[in-house]
Structure 1
Amino acid sequence: MSNKMNDQMMPVSIEQSKLLGNPLRIKIIGALYGTAKTSKQVATQIGESPGNVHYHVQKLYQGGLIDLVEEKRVGGVIEKYYLSKAKWFKSDQDVKVFPELDDSFESASATNISMSLQLKESEQEELLNEFRTLLEKWVERTSTPEHAMEEEFVIGLKLVSRKEKQKD
């Protein structure tokens, strides 16, 4: 039950963006990307309780971010297999998936890294792909039972042209 998806960003609504603001749901989407799994399988993989994961899987399914791709009868139980529609999501600039990234949020711990680069168009895409790969590695690395009680952090990346947008 694997899925051959591309890595294109899925546009999301305001309601879907709010669903993605929960770190556990991000872990669930990561676990459901590429291979369909049951809520129980996801719970085991990420070290969360099956009931808690089931609740969040239902929210993601109702919100249109994951698909129900198969149902199997095993004994007297019907196992439901879910698959993420995408690995990356994109929302309107006005929608804040993570309010913690807003400059006005007073975090106990924050690090800001800024720099200027001169990039060809192809290099912009290459750089963004490298960041995506790095972030995916860290989501996978930290979506384990031994990280379940660790402090949560939010990271955002914004690549901005210094060239101002032309007004119509």
Structure 2
Amino acid sequence: MERKSIPVTLEQSKLLASALRMQIMNLIAETPRTAKQVADLLKKTPGNIHYHMQRLFDADLLELVDTRTVGGVVEKYYRSRGTLFEAQTLAEDAFPYSEQVLEDRKRVAARLKLSDGEAKEFLAEFHQLLNKYDMRDVSGDEYVINMFIGRLKEDEE
């Protein structure tokens, strides 16, 4: 499945500032699942996952794709609307941090000369790297990665 980015509001980006919610979004990107199925995969309680999925659904980040009644229980199957997001505005407080990892630097910046094809390849590889780390089954501290990529105007080079 090609991963394309979708625009999100500031409120939606705040909801997505959680590693657990991003794991949920990735788990149901291609295969619709219930909160119970997601909870089993993530080894979390169904109530906890249901809460997070309901918040994502209320924010229009998940879509309800199927409802089934099994043994008198209604099962709701959700799919994420995307796994990559473009926030028009990022609030610094949406991503609170306690310490910097990279030698006390708050920002890392680079300017690269890339063809359009190389820029697309760079983004694809970056997204693969994020997905690799996002879907691991580990415990630990939560870190934020905030990246902006834009083409400079000729007079700014």
Rate the CA distance shift 1:64–1:136 in 2: closer, same or farther, 3 A: same
**Counterparts of 1:29-108 in structure 2 under 5 Å?**
29-96=25-92, 98-100=94-96, 106-107=98-99
Q: CA deviation at 1:158?
A: 3.1
Letter paired with 1:122: G
Partner of 1:136: 131
Aligned-partner SS, 1:153: coil
Shift of 1:164: 7.0
Q: 1:150 aligned to 2:116? A: no
Unaligned runs of 5+ in 1: none
* Inter-partner Cα distance in structure 1 for 2:23 and 2:92: 19
Structure-2 separation of matches of 1:119 and 1:130: 14
**Deviation string, structure 1 residues 27-80 (Cα, Å, up to 9, x no partner):** 111111100000011011112111000000000000000001001111010111
Kept in 2, the 8 Å contact 1:20–1:97? The answer is: no
* Structure-2 change in CA distance of 1:122 and 1:98 (3 Å): farther
- Tell me the matched-pair count: 152
The normalised TM-score by structure 2 is 0.84
Q: Identify which range, 152-161 or 48-57, moves more after superposition.
A: 152-161
The one-letter code sitting in structure 2 at the alignment partner of 1:89 is F
Aligned equivalents of 2:31, 2:18: Cα separation in 1 = 21
Which amino acid in the other structure matches residue 101 of structure 2? A
Contiguous gaps of at least 5 residues in structure 2: none
Percent identity of equivalent pairs: 36
The question of whether the paired residues in 2 share the 8 Å contact of 1:72 and 1:80 is answered with yes
Tell me how far apart the structure 1 counterparts of residues 111 and 59 of structure 2 sit (CA, whole Å): 38
* Contact 2:3–2:82 (CA under 8 A) maintained in structure 1: yes
What RMSD over aligned residues (CA atoms) do the two structures have, in Å?
2.4
Q: One-letter code of the match for 1:159?
A: I
